[in-house]
Amino acid sequence: MDTSSVLGIIMGAVLLIVGMMIEGELRIFWSLSSVLIVFGGTFASVMINFTLDQVKTVFSLVRIAFSSNTAVRSEEIISTLVHFAEVSRREGLLSLEERAQAMDEPFLQKGIQLVVDGTDPDLVRSILEIELASVEERHQIGHRMFDQMGAWAPAYGMIGTLIGLIVMLSELDNPDLIGSGMAVALITTFYGSVASNLIFQPIAGKLRIKTDEEILLKQIMIEGILSIQAGENPRIVEEKLRSFFPNQRRVDSGRSEVETQAEGVTTRA
């Protein structure tokens, strides 16, 4: 679970609720019709603009946005690739096939299988980069979906406000209802703005970050697979793959390995 995303939404919701409670009772900010207009209209537009199969991925995209970052996963992938480099130098490339199939990483499985089959290195890179571009394109659909939701929610909020104003103006012969009618009309715009700025747009931004992390991870896999095919020294392979990360990330990783080794020595002692 991505702690930052969860804390951000909780913090935003709590601050909004506290702010509303300071200004008045919470019930005055509730309007079922406004909820139906903003969220119902937004999702209706999503269904019109995207295919049904794409719309079905909304909840899985939310789960991805709130999943933990790929830092730990990248360390596992690098360790696996370095181990594969050691095994291939000791036992040959064919020994990697069964090990790769045991992993829950289709992209890495595909790359190792291409190498085991004796595919030309340039062709291996070309095939994997095409697969990488396909993954990026699929992710872009999710980004666009939440970007559009972030744009449509305030628009439907304005539509709800116009509906409220029309209803209010139809009651001009009763001045006592004008104030409350205006409040209800504005609530819809409030809902649309909150939904856009606290939910839809932040999720779209987080999905972009997740895509960048996933693309980087797959680029690491490509370089690792090609290095294994070239028979490079495992230590060189590790250094090459870690060069994808900022210096601080590499320092932290190295410190963790030293601490782990120190703990092992202490335990044996």
Which of these, 89, 80, 112, lies nearest to 232 by C-alpha position?
89
13 lies in the same domain as 124: no
100 lies in the same domain as 76: yes
Tokens of 55: 């719309």
83 lies in the same domain as 100: yes
Q: What's the rounded mean pLDDT across residues 44-49?
A: 94
Q: What's the rounded mean pLDDT across residues 210-224?
A: 90
267, part of any domain: no
170, part of any domain: yes
* Model confidence pLDDT, tens digit, residues 81-102: 999 999 988 888 888 888 888 8
Alpha-carbon gap, residue 227 to 232, rounded angstroms: 6
269, part of any domain: no
pLDDT at 254 over 80: no
77 lies in the same domain as 208: yes
Alpha-carbon gap, residue 220 to 227, rounded angstroms: 10
Give the distance, in angstroms, between the CA of residue 63 and the centroid of all CA atoms in the same chain: 8
71 lies in the same domain as 180: yes
The domain of 52 spans: 31-251
pLDDT at 172 over 80: no
260, part of any domain: no
103 lies in the same domain as 6: no
Alpha-carbon gap, residue 165 to 224, rounded angstroms: 62
* Sequence-distant (≥ 6) Cβ neighbours of residue 153 within 8 angstroms: 38, 39, 42, 191, 192, 193, 195, 196, 200
Strand, helix or coil for residue 22 = helix
60 lies in the same domain as 180: yes
Q: What's the rounded mean pLDDT across residues 21-34?
A: 85
3, part of any domain: yes
104, part of any domain: yes
165, part of any domain: yes
* Sequence-distant (≥ 6) Cβ neighbours of residue 165 within 8 angstroms: 181, 182, 185
257, part of any domain: no
225 lies in the same domain as 185: yes
108 lies in the same domain as 16: no
21 lies in the same domain as 55: no
What is the residue-averaged pLDDT of the chain?
Answer: 83
7 lies in the same domain as 67: no
Tokens of 148: 């559009």
80 lies in the same domain as 179: yes
Number of structural domains, the chain?
A: 2
DSSP letters spanning 184-225: HHHHHHHHHHHIIIIIIHHHHHHHHHHHHHHHHHHHHHHHHH
Tokens of 266: 């202490």
- Structure-model confidence comparison of residues 63 and 258, the more confident one: 63
Angle in degrees, CA 4, 9, 10, rounded to 5: 95
